Amino acid sequence: MSVQERKERERAGRERLIVATARELAEQQGWDAVTTRRLAERIEYSQPVLYSHFRGKREIIGAVALEGAAEMAAALRAATSAADGPRPRVTALAHAYLDFAAGNPAVYDAMFQLDGGLAFADEDTPEPLKDAFAALLESLGEVAGDGVHPGLFTEVFWAALHGLATLTRAGRLPPEDTEPRVELLVERLAMV
């Protein structure tokens, strides 16, 4: 292994450590607790080393969002691959989405609530974000209905899931009613 390859591997390792530590701190104490100073202390590197990887908290949030999008896409695909038929697939997708949001609140915030400097619905949208949308589209496109653009239907269904996730987490919707909400959403919106 060349010196350059070793340095690149070490740099990638530090970057993964920064992102993992930011996620851990955000999940434990919220994103307000994530500062470059605290991260530098926790990973035992100086702030200049941290800044050599990320220009600031915004870029760290973006890196967490990209990692989260890849994880969410994998979770959605895993859930839907085990389902047989459109209705079970869409139901599994909805539950996997809501479970991901509930189980990873800081990551979910990084993906959809905080400014991570990422472009959405744009030609510059990073691949992990496109892939997360594609994971939704794969199951929802088949139930969009005649004359309905699959991408548009997926956006509306996704918006409904996001609303359910956000309102439930904020205590505005009782969590014990998640199942009837999902059933209603699948039955009425996806009409399967």
Q: What is the mean pLDDT of the chain?
A: 95
Q: pTM of this prediction? A: 0.93
Compute how many other C-beta atoms are within 10 angstroms of the C-beta atom of residue 78: 12
* Confidence class for position 192, pLDDT limits 50, 70, 90: confident
64 vs 3 pLDDT, higher one: 64
pLDDT of res. 63: 98
pLDDT of res. 164: 98
pLDDT of res. 190: 82
pLDDT of res. 134: 97
* Per-residue pLDDT tens digits for 98-149: 999 999 999 999 999 999 999 998 999 999 999 999 999 999 999 999 999 9
pLDDT higher than 90, residue 89: yes
Averaged pLDDT for residues 37-56: 94
pLDDT of res. 118: 96
Q: Is 64 exposed, middle or buried (0-12, 13-18, 19+ CB in 10 A)?
A: buried
Compute how many other C-beta atoms are within 10 angstroms of the C-beta atom of residue 115: 11
Note whether 34 and 26 are within 8 A (CB). yes
* Per-residue pLDDT tens digits for 8-29: 999 999 999 999 999 999 999 9
Q: Where are the alpha helices (DSSP H) in the chain?
A: 3-29, 36-43, 47-53, 57-81, 86-103, 105-112, 127-140, 150-169, 178-184
pLDDT higher than 90, residue 191: no
Note whether 54 and 63 are within 8 A (CB). yes
Averaged pLDDT for residues 3-7: 89
Site of tokens 């079970």: 88
The rounded percent of the chain whose pLDDT value lies above 70 is 100
* Per-residue pLDDT tens digits for 177-188: 999 999 999 999
**What phi and psi, each to the nearest 5 degrees, are found at residue 83?**
-90, 145
